[in-house]
Structure 1
Amino acid sequence: MRTEKKQRLEQLRRWRIRKKVVGTKDRPRMSVCFSNQNIYVQFIDDSAGVTVAAASTMSKATPNREKLAANVDSAKSIGTLAAQAAQGKGIKSVVFDRGSKRYHGKVKALADAAREAGLQF
């Protein structure tokens, strides 16, 4: 498949998801972003336009951050850390925003780890 076609399909997928997924103060949006080397998770209140809590492989609060990469094992640990950060701010349930990524592999591992740590999707 041509690169332009892939990028266009990814953009359409992103728009389709963001049209339906909106975070509120009581139930913020859990936005997940994967780069080639790092994983970022943010809890966003869209009504106020504020990031409530965040976790990433770059964060100084992350243990063993030198060994973490953008893989399934790191996604599991970041999912757990993100859930703990959210619960520290009083967040119990979230709306999951996977971005333009498909729900398998790293995205699924991160979501499952967050669920096991106590977040409700």
Structure 2
Amino acid sequence: MGLSKTERKLRIRRRIRKVSSGTETRPRLSVFRSNKEIYAQLIDDINGVTLAAASSRDKGVEAKGTKTEIATQVGKAIAEKGKKLGIEAVAFDRGGNLYHGRVKSLAEGAREAGLKF
């Protein structure tokens, strides 16, 4: 029997985390997508610290438009917070989600705002 949707996502997440690790100079941009919201974090895995975080629930992000438009705004917000910390490059961790839709628009928003990955 095949894998369920959640089992498949967990398998992909584990595979990504084997090779993707964040440092202080090049943190990991971790994305979590729920049905309603989207969250992004810049994580230093060596020290086990979250350097910056942004989500669609933040006050700085307008909650108007489609979910993909809001995800683009979250990507720009996390890139701006990273720029304030002196972060220019990140390792992208899509968290087991496909690089499509909201995850893709968040990544493109972060790239537009100046993050490199």
| Structure 2 residues without counterparts, runs of 5 or longer | none
**Aligned mate of 1:64, from 46, 62, 65:** 62
Contact 1:57 1:68 in 2 (8 A): no
TM superposition shift of 1:76: 0.8
Aligned to 2:102: 106
* Change in 2 beyond 3 A, CA 1:42/1:92: same
> Helix, strand or coil for the counterpart of 1:119?
coil
Aligned to 1:24: 23
- TM-score (norm. length: structure 2): 0.92
Q: Deviation digits for residues 26-80 of structure 1, max 9, x if unmatched?
A: 10000011111111110000000000011111223x1434x367x1111111111
| Structure 1 residues without counterparts, runs of 5 or longer | none
Q: Distance in 1 between matches of 2:32 and 2:65?
A: 15
Aligned to 1:74: 70
Q: Deviation digits for residues 72-109 of structure 1, max 9, x if unmatched?
A: 11111111111001101111100000001001111111
Q: Distance in 1 between matches of 2:62 and 2:6?
A: 33
